[in-house]
Amino acid sequence: MLADKRILLVISGGIAAFRALELIRRLREQGATVTPVLTKAAEEFVTPLSVSALAASKVYRDLFDLTDEAEMGHIELSRSADLILVAPATANIMAKMAQGLCDDLATTLLLATDTPVMIAPAMNVRMWDHPATQANLVTLQDRGVQLVGPDAGAMACGEYGPGRLAEVPAIVDAVISHFAAGPLAGKRIIVTSGPTHEPIDPVRYIANRSSGAQGAAIAAALRDLGADVEFVTGPADVPPPAGVAVHSVQTAQQMLDAVQSLLPSDAAVCAAAVADWRVKGASDQKIKKDGSGTLPVLEFAENPDILATISQGKLRPGLVVGFAAETQDVMAHATAKRDRKGCDWIVANDVSPETGIMGGTQNTVTIIDDQGAESWPDLPKAEVARRLARRIADALA
Ligand code: CTP
């Protein structure tokens, strides 16, 4: 099942590290090539020699091992794999990954890579439940890191609850399904995301508070189901997910041009918070105070509506999904928006400041289509994205 698959197995330190030995055997039985990387703490629990013997591979341990750098630099090592599996993943390595720390070989590889990453956490139940670990998990999942486990049960430390490393067969299954063709394999999907910046002059612009988190999560979820994702993004706070084609733009007009150049596609999800207006006759010189006390007056022109343009255009994607960010009468406005723009589905959400949705990690949405409205509970943005991706997969099946 895993023939020709190259797995870089990062073993971080914890009592569950000994189970990585069994994991190596089972992955190799499936035909995978396993290249192990041990953290210093992991070496307290398993010996490099036993890991190396079972993997039939050199064990990578030290960032400053010059022989390794000569043979294969850490960047190349991280990119030459099809999947990086961190098992067991301790609370510490998850925190470092979430923060982008890179103070040893394992964390440097994880920061330098654009290869898909899967983690199998193992830690004490309180460490798992701690808000810091849970926040790190949300950050990692938002970035497309896949999760397997942890299981609940009796722990080596004598406590009971979630935090046990997933069973080895479950980890192997997760790796196999990662490589299996997803339901969106062969489908090309355009996702717009983030805000747009509309220039006033070369140094000033008009923007909005969109972080791009929901759009990035949708792109990652579609990618996870096997889609070829064309990610057209304005200047967002959240980085684009790995494994998607990124098209960076600044303005609404540039976003429209990019989207149109990518048509036809099987579907389009317009999650961008596009500025409705641009400054008419934006100055190509910095506007200066002229000392007279006269204030500049900005005149606006309407921006093209990307969602409406592609919904009503000749090369209309098979399925067009729009968002409706509202602060009042959410359902009425969203339903009217769907009709006006001509898209198939509208994902409606209330972005009033008190909801904390804009810039936050949670989202509460209602999907409106020709059958009616379907409300989802308050969910992490990554989970909203996964549900939406599955719904899109069903619609395109
Ligand atoms: N949208 C777009 N191009 C625009 C404006 C909006 O593609 N110029 C898309 C958004 O990506 C979103 C949907 O249209 O999918 C609705 O965006 P929203 O900001 O809620 O609505 P507006 O069209 O801007 O309408 P209003 O500001 O009146 O609520």
pLDDT in tens, 94-123: 999 999 999 999 999 999 888 999 999 999
305 lines ligand 1 (CB under 6 A): yes
- With a pLDDT cut of 70, the percent of the chain lying above it is 97
- pTM for the full model? 0.67
Give the H or E element holding residue 367. Answer: strand 365-369
Q: What is the DSSP letter of 165?
A: P
252 lines ligand 1 (CB under 6 A): yes
270 lines ligand 1 (CB under 6 A): yes
Measured at the CA of 234, the angle between CA 230 and CA 235, to 5 degrees, comes to: 130
157 noted as active-site residue: yes
Distance of alpha carbon 62 from alpha carbon 380, whole angstroms:
37
Distance (Å) from CA 275 to ligand 1 centroid: 8
Query: 206-239: per-residue pLDDT in tens?
Result: 999 888 999 999 998 898 888 999 999 999 998 8
Amino acid at 45: F
Question: What is the secondary structure of 117-137 as a DSSP string?
Answer: EEEEE---HHHHHSHHHHHHH
232 lines ligand 1 (CB under 6 A): no
Query: What is the CB neighbour count within 10 angstroms for residue 319?
Result: 20
Task: Write down the pLDDT at residue 289.
Answer: 87
Task: Write down the pLDDT at residue 224.
Answer: 82
Q: Which residue's CA is the closest to the ligand 1 atom numbered 4?
A: 305
Please report which residue ranges of the chain form alpha helices under DSSP H.
19-29, 48-55, 66-71, 74-79, 91-99, 105-112, 125-129, 131-142, 168-179, 213-224, 252-262, 306-312, 330-341, 381-396
Examine the pLDDT at 63 and tell me if it is beyond 80.
no
Task: Write down the pLDDT at residue 68.
Answer: 57
323 lines ligand 1 (CB under 6 A): yes
Which of 161 and 89 is assigned the larger pLDDT? 89
Distance (Å) from CA 328 to ligand 1 centroid: 15
Shared fold status for 6-179 and 188-396: yes
Distance (Å) from CA 375 to ligand 1 centroid: 20
Mean pLDDT within 59-71 = 68
| Dihedral of alpha carbons 214, 218, 224, 230, sign | negative
Q: Is 89 helix (H, G, I), strand (E, B) or coil?
A: strand
For domain 188-396, give the fold.
Answer: Rossmann fold (3.40.50)
- Mutation test of ligand 1: which of 192, 306, 310, 349 has the most ligand atoms closer than 8 Å to its C-beta? 306
Domain ranges of the chain: 6-179, 188-396
Which of 178 and 318 is assigned the larger pLDDT? 318
Q: Which atom of ligand 1 is nearest to the CA of 309?
A: 7
Say which CATH superfamily domain 6-179 falls into: Flavin prenyltransferase-like (3.40.50.1950)
Distance of alpha carbon 242 from alpha carbon 124, whole angstroms:
30
